[in-house]
Amino acid sequence: MTSGKRAVKAPQLDLDAILDDQNTRIVVCCGSGGVGKTTTAAALGLRAAERGRHVVVLTVDPARRLAQSMGLTSLDNTPRRITEIDGDGQLHAMMLDMKRTFDEIIEAHADPERAKQILTNPFYQSLSSSFSGTQEYMAMEKLGQLRRSGDWDLIIVDTPPSRSALDFLDAPERLGRFLDGRLIRILIAPAKAGGRSAFKLINAGFGLVAGALTKVLGAQVLTDIQTFVSALDALFGGFRQRAEQTYRLLQAPGTAFVVVATPERDAIREASYFVERLAEERMPLAGLVVNRVHRSPAPALSAARSTAAAEDLESRGEHELTAAVLRLHAGRMQLAAREHREQEHFTSAHPTVPISQVPAMSEDVHDLAGLRQIGELLAAG
């Protein structure tokens, strides 16, 4: 720090207070990829359950680490009870099945004949599996379903591993733009107009666009899209309405966003972006979790002194092992200093955001005991 400036000390993030507060109904863990969101979400879920809450953890991470660490062979679209927990609470876990969630919506909101028409449509099968934003939108849908069920008093969400961890906030708007797009409106026109004249209408309205699409996609694909859109038109309003309800739920006081990062430049920069974006969207931010922080068991011995001592021993040809340990310590101190500077950049930009630090572990978490340990470290900060 330059002279005249003092380091800003961040407030401590009290995660136990958040988990114990019965008014907290949703905790959303967000951050860039590879920072430990899934582990953080699972550890918070376990800790909340062992402190008496009835919890469900919703993960959309394609890796199976969550299931393995919780002692389950697999997770799917149905919440699974984890029985090996201490305390009076309950813990369930599930992994978002994007296509199955989409299918459930169709089955719930369309009559059987129309549902069958949609589910067997080739365009729908492609859309439900690979359309950009479908995973994020379905995460929002599933969150809304879990909240409406009333079966749990706390839902913890591990956000999608997408380019931006806040893509799921944009998903309803993106889907809305898709549904309201000019192409979709033209495709819907035949069903709304009815009869043979409708197809004259689409030819007139589509003109060259339809011809170009037929060349690119083929007549059958274009027909599949028309059939799909016509069948789904009645459900469009419901999609948008539920998305808006879930979005408002995320803005409500009972929701807490926990941004997760590692003490590295790119991850901290992403964390700053998430914090700013959440403020713009009026989403309630709980604080920042900094994962995998490196610390030294001998912080009083500086990197410079350690390096100097190692050089002295090496110059005399003595105590090679001691010199190697000193150099290892110097490297660790330098790493810790770099991480501290990165965190200071965040704190100076966001001085009021509470922070909890989790030290780097010697091995990956692979069971409930490991999750329990992470939960204790998260609470201790």
Q: Tens digit of pLDDT for each residue in 125-154?
A: 877 776 666 777 788 888 989 999 999 999
Residues 21 and 127 in one domain: yes
Asked if residue 284 has pLDDT above 90, the reply is yes
Residues 333 and 284 in one domain: no
- pLDDT score of 187: 56
Rg (CA), the chain: 26
pLDDT band with cut points at 50, 70 and 90 for residue 180: low
If you average pLDDT over residues 363-374, what whole number do you get? 88
Specify if 1 maps to a domain: no
- pLDDT score of 215: 52
Asked if residue 178 has pLDDT above 90, the reply is no
pLDDT band with cut points at 50, 70 and 90 for residue 198: very low
Angle between helices 134-149 and 219-251 (to 10 degrees): 50
What φ, ψ does residue 26 adopt, rounded to 5°?
-140, 130
Specify if 7 maps to a domain: no
- Residue 194 tokens, joined: 């009815």
Q: Which domain holds residue 324?
A: 299-353
- pLDDT score of 265: 93
Report how many domains make up the chain.
2
pLDDT band with cut points at 50, 70 and 90 for residue 349: very high
What φ, ψ does residue 130 adopt, rounded to 5°?
-140, 0
Specify if 168 maps to a domain: yes
Specify if 6 maps to a domain: no
Least confident of 98-102, 217-221, 223-227, 353-357: 217-221
CATH code of the domain containing 156: 3.40.50.300
- pLDDT score of 135: 76
Specify if 257 maps to a domain: yes
Query: Quick one: residue 183, left, alpha or beta (phi over 0 = left, psi -120 to 50 = alpha)?
Result: alpha
CB 349 within 8 A of CB 273: no
Closest CA to 373 of 91, 69, 71: 69
Asked if residue 52 has pLDDT above 80, the reply is yes
pLDDT band with cut points at 50, 70 and 90 for residue 295: confident
Asked if residue 272 has pLDDT above 50, the reply is yes
Residues 162 and 69 in one domain: yes
Specify if 9 maps to a domain: no
Asked if residue 316 has pLDDT above 90, the reply is no
Specify if 64 maps to a domain: yes
CB 6 within 8 A of CB 344: no
- pLDDT score of 230: 64
Q: What is the pLDDT of residues 75-128, one digit of tens each?
A: 888 999 998 899 889 999 998 888 888 888 888 878 888 888 888 888 778 777
Bridge partners, residue 81, by sequence = 92
pLDDT band with cut points at 50, 70 and 90 for residue 181: low
Averaged pLDDT of the chain? 80
- C-alpha 79/C-alpha 361 separation (Å) is 29
If you average pLDDT over residues 253-274, what whole number do you get? 93
Residues 215 and 239 in one domain: yes
What φ, ψ does residue 67 adopt, rounded to 5°?
-60, -45
Residues 178 and 313 in one domain: no
- C-alpha 223/C-alpha 61 separation (Å) is 35
Closest CA to 303 of 328, 278, 323, 271: 328
Specify if 195 maps to a domain: no
Q: Looking at the chain, how many residues does it have?
A: 381
Residues 310 and 214 in one domain: no
Residues of the chain with pLDDT > 70, as a percent, come to: 75
Q: How many helices (H) and strands (E) does the chain have?
A: 16, 8
What's the sign of the alpha-carbon dihedral 330, 335, 339, 342? Answer: positive
CB 364 within 8 A of CB 36: no
Residues 304 and 281 in one domain: no
If you average pLDDT over residues 59-88, what whole number do you get? 81
Q: Which residue has the higher pLDDT, 97 or 172?
A: 97
Least confident of 15-19, 63-67, 76-80, 373-377: 63-67
Asked if residue 58 has pLDDT above 90, the reply is yes
Residues 285 and 337 in one domain: no
Closest CA to 155 of 172, 139, 135: 139
If you average pLDDT over residues 216-239, what whole number do you get? 63
Residues 248 and 167 in one domain: yes
Residues 315 and 370 in one domain: no
What φ, ψ does residue 290 adopt, rounded to 5°?
-100, 110
Residues 94 and 165 in one domain: yes
CB 182 within 8 A of CB 67: no
DSSP for 236-294, written as a single string:
HHHHHHHHHHHHHHHHSTTEEEEEEE-SSHHHHHHHHHHHHHHHHTT--EEEEEEEEE-
Least confident of 177-181, 207-211, 265-269: 207-211
Closest CA to 166 of 270, 251, 64, 244: 270
Q: Which residue has the higher pLDDT, 207 or 263?
A: 263
Query: Buried b vs exposed e over 7-42: b needs ≥16 C-beta within 10 Å?
Result: eeebeebebbebbeeeebbbbbbbbbeebbbbbbbb
If you average pLDDT over residues 280-287, what whole number do you get? 94
Residues 57 and 176 in one domain: yes
